[in-house]
Amino acid sequence: MREFRISITSLSFLLASVLEIYTLLAVASIASLVVFTIEIVLVFKEGFNNRFLLMSSLACGFWLSLGFIISFIELSKLESASFESLFDAINLASVNVFTYSLAFFYSLIFLAVVTFLSRLRIIRKAELKFSNNVFNTLKSIRLSTNHATLWLSLVALLATYFSMINIYGIRGLSEDVTTGGLPWWHPLANSTISLIPTLVALSYDRRKKSRIYSTLLIIYSALLGLYYASITGRIALISYLFQLLLAFALFNAKYIKTAFITRVLLSIFILIPVLFYLTSFLNYIRWLNIPINPSTFISLLIDFTNSDVSSANELQSENLLSRPLVLWPLAASISMVIDGTNHGFLGLLDIVNSSLNSLPKFLFPYKETLLLQENLLYNFFPFSTVDTADSPVLYAFASFGILGLLVYPIFISLSYLLSISFVSFFVSRMRNNFKYLACLIGVSSMISFSTDSYMELATTGIIRNFLQPVIIILIISLLASFIDNYYLNKK
């Protein structure tokens, strides 16, 4: 069983904590990366079957392990820094190999529990309904090439418009747009852009007519999605590439042959230097603090020289020193509990406040009164005074300690269950062309959830990931019902 294999892997981190050997922690991370990679491959070998919750947890373990390995390599380049010294300037609690290994152990047990919950009958039944009502509907709707191209053209047009009016900046919305909080249209804009991988995969399967235009549109749309992922960050860029691969595998299984897989793996191997160059460039432009659009992005990329690559690598090392590693807040929290210096636990405060904060402002207008993330965490665990790396395992431990290994995985699994169940329910009752759009949004949101790492999200972000497609599809469902009733009464 997968959860058993993940649990066995976690013991290597427990051994690293007992022996307090930094190199052993790195070796455990490599072993963890191998295990999660194999598990992801096995999911596809067994048939994906819309197991989005399982895939998301395996992706979290993959990103978590890979992130530490990259940090280990970066740290080895810094002659004047040691692992413990990374935390001296930002941390008021003891973070060392012992506590960080325990944090890794806690995280893998967390993922093992979610992996176990993902195979419960109630979740598998909901995934089967989602597959029949949403995923298979999207595959079975026989659209003409022109109709499919129209959808992708519309999304590409909107995404192009967003890029031209400069509402997106480096790592999110521009500062001018976010003054006074996130705008109401932000979820709609993000949902529109998130449709690109799914529509590209669907359009590829239906590009026999109008071949030249469709092919050019697919290439342009894929590059446009790559642009948005790039300005969001390096992890978002790699996640986007995986979203394209996952969407293509789901909708174009007939093309997935041994020769195709060989070509993909060979292409990835060949493009590794290009990917490293691009991530160096992204690390460079994030510090420029300038408005960004596609033309500026391309111009900066063309002017990016070898000296800039060196500067980017130095900035990356400085960033590692100033905000090291995803699990350091969890390690600091574990240290405070061991020392008895924490001020109790959060209990349900994080889940309740984050749930209220994830609601649209017209439903809950008092968001400014809520204590969230560091403002809440530091009341109980004052281990630092700077921005922390948010993670559900951090708030699981800070809220309930060891019991958080049950409470938060159950909360995430329940949120996932409710999300796909509501989406399936709304879509199954739609009878007009809006159904295709609703299915697109539902499948795209799950593909994104499967490849992104929720290990680096605050609780509000996790809830919004599940709530956003439900609200949008509910609105579409109500609009479709209104149109149906209008035409019915007209007759």
Contact present, 346 and 333 (Cβ < 8 Å) = no
Residues of the chain with confidence (pLDDT) below 70: 78-82, 84-93, 141-148, 166-187, 205-210, 234, 252-276, 279-280, 283, 286-291, 305-325, 385-386, 432-433, 453, 486-491
**pLDDT at position 322:** 46
Going from the C-alpha of 403 to that of each of 110, 176, 378, 379, the distances in angstroms are 10, 42, 20, 20
User: Is 337 a domain residue?
Assistant: yes
**Domain range holding 353?**
142-490
Q: How is residue 81 written in tokens?
A: 């820094």
Please report the pLDDT score of residue 324 as a whole number.
Answer: 47
The reply to whether 118 falls in a domain is no
Q: Determine the pLDDT at residue 198.
A: 87
pLDDT tens-place string over residues 216-258: 888 888 888 888 887 777 677 778 888 888 888 787 666 655 5
Give a yes or no: residue 398 inside a domain. yes
- Count up the domains in the chain and report the number: 1
Helix (H) / strand (E) element for 169: namely strand 168-169
119 vs 123: CA distance, rounded Å: 7
Cα–Cα distances (Å) from 472 to 194, 248, 433, 459, 479, in that order, read 13, 24, 16, 20, 11
Task: Give pLDDT, residue 337.
Answer: 92
* pLDDT for 30: 92
Question: Is 21 within the bounds of a domain?
Answer: no
Half-sphere exposure in the Cβ direction for 335 (13 Å, CA) = 22
Spatial distance between the Cα atoms of 354 and 460, rounded to a whole number of angstroms: 5
Asked if residue 392 is part of any domain, the answer here is yes
In a domain, 448, yes or no: yes
147 occurs within a structural domain: yes
Pairing of strands 172-173, 168-169: antiparallel
In a domain, 485, yes or no: yes
Instruction: Output the pLDDT for position 145.
Output: 47
